[in-house]
Amino acid sequence: MPEQQIPAADRFARERMRHRFTAREVAVTAVSSPAEPFIRITLSGPDLHDFVSDGPADHARLFFPHPITGELVAPTPVGPGEDGIVRPEAPMFPRDFTPLNLRTDPETGLRAFDVDFLQHPDPGPASAWAASAKPGDRLVVVGPRGSVRAPQGADRLLLIVDPSALPSATRWINEVPERTEVEVIADASPADLEWIEAYLREQSGREVTVGEAFGTLADAAADAGIDEGTYLFAAGEASRLIPLRRLVKYEYGIPRAQYALSGYWKRGMANFDHHAPIDPEDPED
């Protein structure tokens, strides 16, 4: 008797959870570099006592000081233990980042997490702040509102990411079972593949081979193959993801439960909202 096929909704089920949504003040406790293009900032503080991040695609919104005046304008909590924030009227400088390595500091007993800032030739407010950050500097963190865990039933995890999404990629690798085969395709120059592979290995503890994306990201996915046991996560420059989205949605007809695509930034647009539709001509999933 043939083996019964497992429905995609069951094979790729992802547990969802909600968290208290509030604003938390944090301080820089350490600055390091896990790989040459990244600056790692460790953030900690009493407000993180109930901070939760259980999903590989989680984003926390960091609010940075004004790049000229240095004034930190950011939301504040509605009240102790309550859900919600109060947004100020003045301009703010927020950016979304993936929280890494959430833990309790053994010396202080306070919760802490890391943020990896990718350095650019023309840095924005976040990258510029990270380049000069020092212990004691303060930020405000809002979110994540909730988490969606990695699928535990996938036979294979295919990650197609550019350098901006590497922190999230490390969480995906860490949060799938050891039995899940992991394949990474980097939307980056060939010269970057060595350090990308080293970064993923160092952060995940797994030996992961990184391949180059030839042609469009749709071409890269077609070359890698997406079978019924593969879960696809792709993230990076939003315009690059459009052909890939059309491939998996229309040409391959892959069930929605089997993939997640996220535009982390968009060429020519400052502070792109990663919740915005990847494909403006087809905004519906």
The pLDDT tens digits for 27-52 are: 999 999 999 899 999 999 999 999 99
**pLDDT reported for residue 265:** 86
Where is the domain boundary, 122, 144, 166?
144
Whether residues 124 and 198 share a domain: the answer is no
Quote the domain boundaries for residue 261: 8-14+147-265
Whether residues 211 and 192 share a domain: the answer is yes
Q: Does residue 274 have a pLDDT over 80?
A: no
Q: Is residue 101 part of a domain?
A: yes
Q: pLDDT tens, 83-107? A: 999 999 999 999 999 999 999 999 8
Question: Span 114-129, mean pLDDT?
Answer: 88
Where is the domain boundary, 144, 159, 179?
144
Whether residues 139 and 151 share a domain: the answer is no
**pLDDT reported for residue 61:** 96
* Reported confidence tier of residue 140, pLDDT bands at 50, 70, 90: very high
Question: Span 115-119, mean pLDDT?
Answer: 95
Strands 181-186 and 156-161: parallel
Whether residues 109 and 223 share a domain: the answer is no
Q: What SS3 string covers the chain?
A: CCCCCCCHHHHCCCCEEECCCCEEEEEEEEEECCCCCEEEEEEECHHHHHCCCCCCCCCEEEEECCCCCCCCCCCEECCCCCCCEECCCCCCEEEEECCEEEEECCCCCCEEEEEEEECCCCCCHHHHHHHHCCCCCEEEEECCCEEECCCCCCCEEEEEECHHHHHHHHHHHHHCCCCCEEEEEECCCHHHHHHHHHHHHHHHCCCCCEEECCCCHHHHHHHHCCCCCEEEEEEEEHHHHHHHHHHHHHHCCCCHHHEEEEEEEECCECCCCCCCCCCCCCCCC
Asked, as a colleague might, if the bond just before 144 is cis with ω within 30 of 0, I would say yes
Whether residues 201 and 87 share a domain: the answer is no
Q: Is residue 25 part of a domain?
A: yes
* Reported confidence tier of residue 285, pLDDT bands at 50, 70, 90: low
CATH number of the domain residue 48 falls in: 2.40.30.10
Whether residues 256 and 183 share a domain: the answer is yes
Q: CA 144, CA 96: separation in Å to the nearest integer?
A: 10
Amino acid at 94: P
Whether residues 45 and 152 share a domain: the answer is no
Whether residues 194 and 250 share a domain: the answer is yes
By mean pLDDT, which of 7-21, 211-225, 254-268, 270-284 is the weakest? Answer: 270-284
Q: pLDDT tens, 219-272? A: 999 999 999 999 999 999 999 999 999 999 999 999 999 999 999 988 877 767
Question: Span 114-121, mean pLDDT?
Answer: 91
Among 124-128, 181-185, 264-268, which range has the highest average pLDDT?
A: 181-185
Q: Which pTM value belongs to this model?
A: 0.92
* Reported confidence tier of residue 284, pLDDT bands at 50, 70, 90: low
Q: Is residue 158 part of a domain?
A: yes
Question: Span 146-159, mean pLDDT?
Answer: 97
Whether residues 136 and 151 share a domain: the answer is no
Q: Is residue 127 part of a domain?
A: yes
Cβ(272)–Cβ(238) under 8 Å? yes
What tokens does 74 get?
């950011």
What tokens does 19 get?
């968290």
Whether residues 181 and 225 share a domain: the answer is yes
Q: Does residue 187 have a pLDDT over 70?
A: yes
Q: Is residue 97 part of a domain?
A: yes
Q: Is residue 1 part of a domain?
A: no
The average confidence (pLDDT) of the chain is: 92
Q: Does residue 275 have a pLDDT over 80?
A: no
Q: CA 81, CA 88: separation in Å to the nearest integer?
A: 20
**pLDDT reported for residue 283:** 66
**pLDDT reported for residue 2:** 40
Whether residues 136 and 160 share a domain: the answer is no
Whether residues 152 and 140 share a domain: the answer is no
How many distinct structural domains can be found in the chain? 2
Q: Is residue 42 part of a domain?
A: yes
